[in-house]
């Protein structure tokens, strides 16, 4: 999937929630994400791979050359999780799939994080903000809902930590499996 649809761009998985039934407080602020995609379109060599359910796809995502909707390729949840694993980094809110990034060394930004009392003992405050006690410096929890400015700031912070030239050099090697370049070399 990444070889055919993303390379030589850098893959960034974004999970967008738009559940009309339950837990609507966990839904993504899609307008903010769209504005971030637009901001990044001509500035960064990335392809955002949006994962969500078929019903949650926002048609406006198709207007961006730097966005791929995984469900357009009929991906399963397992394949969405594999995309998270193979991506450069992950961005999203409260969801089950974000656990793939959380329990790895993959850089991530988890927005709209709710620090429930049951979870609080696992959360630490450091110079970069909140993170889980087992997280690395490129894994961040953000307690506030996403805004365009916040998403751009967090995207830029994580993107700047990745050695893009090393990623692209390996990705441009026709004989390299994308899974061989994960985890990414960080600066």
Q: What is the mean pLDDT of residues 161-177?
A: 70
User: For 18-34, how does the pLDDT look when each residue is reduced to its tens digit (9 = 90+)?
Assistant: 777 767 677 788 999 99
Phi, psi of 30, rounded to the nearest 5 degrees: -60, -40
Q: Give me the pLDDT at residue 176, please.
A: 53
Q: Using alpha carbons only, give the angle 64, 36, 133 rounded to the nearest 5 degrees.
A: 125
Instruction: Check residue 171 and give its pLDDT.
Output: 63
Q: 76-112 pLDDT, tens per residue?
A: 999 999 999 999 999 998 888 989 999 999 999 999 9
**How confident is the model at residue 179, as a pLDDT?**
52
C-alpha distances out from residue 143 to 115, 131, 146, 150, 158, Å:
7, 10, 9, 11, 17
Residue 155 neighbours by CB under 8 Å, 6+ apart: 12, 36, 40, 44, 91, 109
- Identify whether 8 is preceded by a cis peptide bond (ω within 30 of 0): yes
Q: What is the DSSP letter of 135?
A: -
Instruction: Tell me if 132 sits within 8 A of 120, measured CB to CB.
Output: no
Residue 159 φ then ψ, to 5°: -60, -40
Cα angle at 131 between 127 and 132, to 5 degrees?
Answer: 140
pLDDT over 50 at 187, yes or no: no
Q: Is the pLDDT of residue 169 over 80?
A: no
The C-alpha atoms of residue 75 and residue 159 are separated, in whole angstroms, by 26
Query: pTM of this prediction?
Result: 0.88
In tens, the pLDDT along 37-56 reads 999 999 999 999 999 989 88
CA 22 to chain centre: 23
Torsion of CA 76, 113, 67, 174, to 10 degrees: -70
């Amino acid at each position: 999937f990444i070889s055919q649809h993303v390379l030589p761009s850098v893959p960034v998985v974004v999970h967008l929630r738009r559940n009309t039934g339950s837990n609507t407080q966990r839904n993504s602020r899609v307008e903010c994400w769209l504005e971030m995609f637009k901001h990044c379109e001509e500035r960064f060599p990335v392809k955002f791979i949006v994962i969500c359910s078929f019903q949650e796809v926002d048609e406006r995502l198709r207007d961006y050359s730097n966005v791929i909707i995984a469900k357009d390729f009929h991906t399963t949840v397992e394949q969405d999780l594999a995309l998270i694993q193979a991506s450069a980094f992950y961005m999203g809110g409260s969801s089950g799939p974000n656990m793939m990034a959380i329990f790895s060394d993959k850089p991530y930004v988890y927005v709209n994080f709710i620090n429930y009392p049951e979870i609080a003992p696992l959360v630490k405050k450091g110079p970069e903000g909140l993170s889980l006690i087992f997280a690395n410096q490129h894994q961040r929890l953000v307690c506030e809902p996403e805004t365009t400015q916040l998403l751009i700031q967090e995207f830029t912070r994580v993107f700047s930590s990745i050695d893009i030239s090393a990623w692209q050099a390996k990705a441009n090697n026709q004989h390299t499996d994308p899974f061989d370049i994960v985890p990414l070399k960080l600066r």
